[in-house]
Amino acid sequence: MSEVDILGIDLGTTNSAIAIWEPDTGQARVLSNSEGDRLTPSVVMFDTEKNQPIVGKSALGFITTHPNQVIYSVKRFMGCTFRDERVRIDQTQVTYTIAEMQQSKVAVRVGEEIFTPPQISAEVLRKLKKDAEATLGKTISQAVITVPAYFSESQRQATKEAGELAGLRVRRIINEPTAAALAFGLGTEPQTVAVYDLGGGTFDISILRIEHGLFRVKATSGDTHLGGDDLDLAIMSWMQKAFKQQHDVDLPIAEDNSLRSQFRKTAEIAKIALTQATEYQISIPNLFAVEKQYLGLKATLTRIELEKLVQPFINRTLDICDATLKEAKLQATDIDQVLLVGGQTRLPAIKKALRDRYGWTINDSVNPDEAVARGAAVQGARLCGYLREEVKLWDITPLSLGIELANSKMDAIIRANEPIPVTKWRKGSQAFTTQRDGQASIRFRIYQGERPIAGDNEFIGEVVLNLATTRPAGEVQVNCMFKVDHDGILHVLAEDITTDGQPVEKTFDRFYRLTQQEVDQKLEEAKVHENEDAVTNRIFQLEEEIIRLQRVINQDKTSDNLLLETLESLKAAINSRDVNQAEALLTELKSKIIN
């Protein structure tokens, strides 16, 4: 079997980690960086004089002295534009300058230089690659990189671009919760698990069913702007209020980058300390000058106070957990255990909240900072031919994918929550045909969503099949295929099987994936319009009944005026969306035809 030469990389908001599968031990090994640490801060300092980036722990040391040149939490801006509301909020929370590029794309300005988020992330990945090569004593050119479960396609593409800029062939982009489940080595016993992943900048919850080595994602959700950064900001706000109480002075945190950097660093240290201790002494001398007199901050932050500060954020994660359980059609008692991933899960308050709310068994047996990288390394081993029987993996489609029919109906070809990869055909009796004589092409308009009328869903794009010959309406037979591959990329193919014309295939990659917020919005819209959509679905069914009855009437060549009048009344009832009257008329019409 081939040597494993694919790195597993957790490109995190706060920290990143690398791992590789070792066939000799049958385990994923987390690799240390050049500083001897297993975690590398996802931080880059651009030295405008030397024109040489400094990455990791060394860059972190400049955050208070050169706040405008130290870039951190850039993962929040990956693949984003200034049209994203969160970008406008997030740019006020960082100490560096966010700039707008062409097509509203987000960039970072350092002095006269402009850097894109993928370029900055590439510097982190380049260091990880170099450190791994030094440890392993060989060149590494391939990687599996993880992303939050509901990163949009543009965010996934930006992550892939970062890997390529770092000199890596990105073999797979996989979801962080999925990678984490692989890391915990679950696969021998049938069970249902939740993966609760609270990292530096993102939160994900996934529910997986594991049977016979097969990992099936039943539901997944999250928030790309909820994580340790938010907890740090809450502590910073507490510190600012404490300073105000001591000196009656409002610190200009929002305007003073150096001050904000110092507060952020202290907040993170306090948060980490309180995972073990019950209180932490904050002491920052000479913090701020007022009329040439320097004022400092001395305060005691207790774990109880910290838990009050972070509880609103924990509650947000629990609300997402509730919604995900509902989506998976499961009760809390159906979950056998919850896997804790991400450094923030070390907070005792999180474990307590999960036990109190759901009564779940907590599994924190794998280092939460390393679990995702280990899982990515397992995926890398599979790509090299290992673990194919031990571990299999299914992801799901979050929303239905389909096309618009002539009557505006959404024909869902791939349903929501289908395991991927998946291929579905419309052929044979389900094949499509032309609507009018001499029609030269068939246009497939593709949508994503759960509403019965296609136009109420998210438009993805279209595939146009030019017909080789023009023929009478209904004579053409066109097959259509929808396929979502291992990477979640949608392929749509249309072919005219009644001639030798060339099929048309189109790929929808970056355009069809929606963010978590957009997916939630689509599901909420479907819920709000549930009663209305039930009527619409019944109307579509009634219209199909009319077509069948019309054929029978035409075949009999009936001139029964009463029968024809009832048919017209039925059509009028459908047009006015009077389902009860339409049902009654349909029953009457059927009885007249039978008799």
Catalytic residues: 10, 75, 176, 197
Q: How many beta carbons lie within 10 A of that of residue 558, not counting itself?
A: 14
Q: Where are the alpha helices (DSSP H) in 328-419?
A: 348-358, 371-383
Question: At CB < 8 A and 24+ separation, what contacts does 248-251 make?
Answer: 249/288, 249/290, 249/295, 251/287, 251/288
Residue for token digits 């406008």? 88
- The length of the chain in residues reads 595
Query: What are the tokens at 193?
Result: 């698990």
Amino acid found at 49: E
CA distances from 142 to 28, 56, 64, 139, 363 (A): 16, 21, 35, 10, 31
**417: buried, middle or exposed (CB in 10 Å: 19+, 13-18, 0-12)?**
middle
Angle at 554 between CA 550 and CA 555, to 5 degrees: 120
Query: What are the tokens at 586?
Result: 């349909």
Whether residue 69 contacts residue 43, with contact meaning beta carbons closer than 8 Å, is answered with no
Q: How many beta carbons lie within 10 A of that of residue 192, not counting itself?
A: 17
Angle at 573 between CA 569 and CA 579, to 5 degrees: 135
Residue for token digits 């040439």? 292
Exposure string of 94-116, with b = 16+ CB inside 10 Å and e = fewer, is: bbbbbbeeeeebbbbebeeeebb
Which helix (H) or strand (E) segment is 557 a member of? none
- The radius of gyration computed from the CA coordinates of the chain, to the nearest angstrom, equals 29
Q: Give the 3-state secondary structure of residue 154.
A: helix
CA–CA separation, 22 vs 369, rounded Å? 20
Q: Give the 3-state secondary structure of residue 334.
A: helix
